[in-house]
Structures are given as structure tokens and as C-alpha cells.
Amino acid sequence: MGVLASALLMGCTTTETVVFEADSNQPVVESFDQLNWQTVVPSKQVNFAIDETNQRYVLGSGQSAVASFEIDVKGKELELEILSHFTRTVFYPNAVLLNSSNQIVKTFTTEDFEYKHAYGFLGDRLSATAKIQPSGLDPIKLVIYTTPELIKGESEVLHPVKLDAIARGNYPPDVPNPVIQHAPYGQLSIIAKVDEAIVVEKAIEIDSSDAAHQKSKQDQAESVTTAAAGLSAPMIVMDKEEAKPQSQLTESQQQYYRDSIKGAVEAGLIDKALSMLEEAKALGVEDAQATFVEAIKQ
């Protein structure tokens, strides 16, 4: 497999575009040993496409075009992010991390990939992160693929009209969000960063976004479920001249709403965040709108 690459220096971050060329000898493989690895030297962002030119890996339920990378961490702690970009369709990834012996040390499943809405120059995307402490100077390997079941699915993205309203500090309109079909091919990126000050010699340990994401969702669901029990219904006093709600909530109660709004956005529960925002505004919670807008921008 030949690889064509071009690099562009952007500030302190190098962005490299990789094009995978078809391997006429082994276009379809059944083991990790048969994959052709593209070497990545941190710290950089690597943009690439998964399409019909990539090697295909035989899964239990079919085949998938794959992208395979060997990340040369040189014993340094690695921060890895996998991104799949929404266009007219989206490649919904799964992935595995391997050690130098091609043994699986971490699996990224559907639940590990969080939806991130468009912001600034970044479009809608799926994102998964992991922090890896390698053993010795061995490289870390990454294989990205999808499944026949995922290809049949679809994902919802935040409507651009809602994003525009949020950016202007307005309440988002009630319009349906676009639904994007999943596809066997797509545009992806990986971002590999290392801590230059840390070189570790112990066995691989991983702190990844899957656990954090699930905990955030669980905590948010629990907080919403217990919101009514946790807060007594306050009295709303309307100023006769200004007709504005004056909150009778304590500062800790107001902070609960601000934290709940922020937590819902971070967990990808935008509709729930909007519901909490509306309730907070009705209760006169200070900075509720600002909290929501700031959380959306992050």
C-alpha cells in the first residue's frame, strides 16, 4: 500500500493529509498482521478518507474498509482523539488500539463516539478520546472501521438555524434537526499528542471518553429525575414596573440549574439543556442563558 502525504504547518500544530492507495496484493485481510500501517509521529492532526481504495477487514458480520495507523509515541503518554466528519453522510466509526504484538488493549464502540455540533471552523463531527500510557518505547497501533449494522443507521445533528440563534444569544427555534445517513465511507481525522515531559515504563493504562461519557449521561439523567425532589417549588415575585421574574432561589439552587445546563450540553443532551434553560429562566436564575451559550461554544 502506497501512502501519499502532504503537511501544512498551522501555528504549533502540524496537519497532515494522508491518501491510502489500494493494495493489489492484499485488498482483503482477515488478521491485524496483514494490515499495512501508516506511521504517525505526534504531535499532529492527520486527515484522511476511508473509501473503496482502503484495505478491507473481514469482520464476523461482514467486511469494512479500514484505516490502520502506527503511532510512534516513544514511551510518552499519548492523548488521542478520533474524529469522523459529517458531510451528506457520515462514517460511524468503531476502533481498536493494539500493542506492538497486535493484541487489543482498548476497543472503541458506538457508545464511545460523542456528537459534537458545528462551531467556528469545525463542522458537525463524532469524537472519541483516550489517554494511553504505553510500555517502553513500543508504538501504539490504531485500526478504524465500521460495521454493517452501523451503515444501516442514521444520526441527528443540530439544525444550523438553532446554532445561529445560540451564537446570537437567542432561544433556539423549534425546528426539526437534520438526520444524516450512515455510510461505508467517509472523511475522518485523528489527533495525536504526547506529553514530552513524561516517559513511562509501566504497563498500558487507559483513561478514555467512553467511561466519562457514560458517567455524564447517567449523572445528568439522575439529576433530571431528582430535580423536583431536590428543590422545593419557589415563589416567583413579579416586579410590577419591570415585569421581570425575581428569583427566590438560593445561590446554591441557582448554581444547580447552571451546572445542570452545562452538564446536559457536555453530555450531548441539547434538548434537555434547552428544557432546563427554559425552566431556569422562568425561575429567574441569573446567567442561565450565558451558561448555556458558553457551554455550547466549548
Question: Burial code of 27-64, b = ≥16 C-beta within 10 A, e = fewer?
Answer: eebeebeebbbbebebbbbbbbbbeeebbbbeeeeebb
pLDDT of residue 122 exceeding 60: yes
pLDDT of residue 3 exceeding 60: no
Looking at residue 247, what is its pLDDT? Answer: 62
Q: What is the pLDDT of residues 41-68, one digit of tens each?
A: 888 899 999 999 999 999 988 899 999 9
**Beta pairing partners, 18:** 5, 48
Question: Burial code of 66-77, b = ≥16 C-beta within 10 A, e = fewer?
Answer: bbbbbbbbbbbb
DSSP string, 145-161: E--HHHHT-EEE---HH
User: Taking the model in full, what pTM does it have?
Assistant: 0.67
User: Is residue 68 reached through a cis peptide bond, with omega within 30 degrees of 0 on the bond before it?
Assistant: no
Calculate mean pLDDT across residues 115-120.
87
Q: What is the pLDDT of residues 176-222, one digit of tens each?
A: 999 999 999 999 999 999 876 555 555 444 445 444 444 444 554 45
**Separation between Cα atoms, residue 221 and residue 59, nearest integer Å:** 35
**Separation between Cα atoms, residue 104 and residue 34, nearest integer Å:** 15
Residues ≥6 apart with Cβ < 8 Å to 12: none
Closest CA to 167 of 115, 119, 114, 117: 119
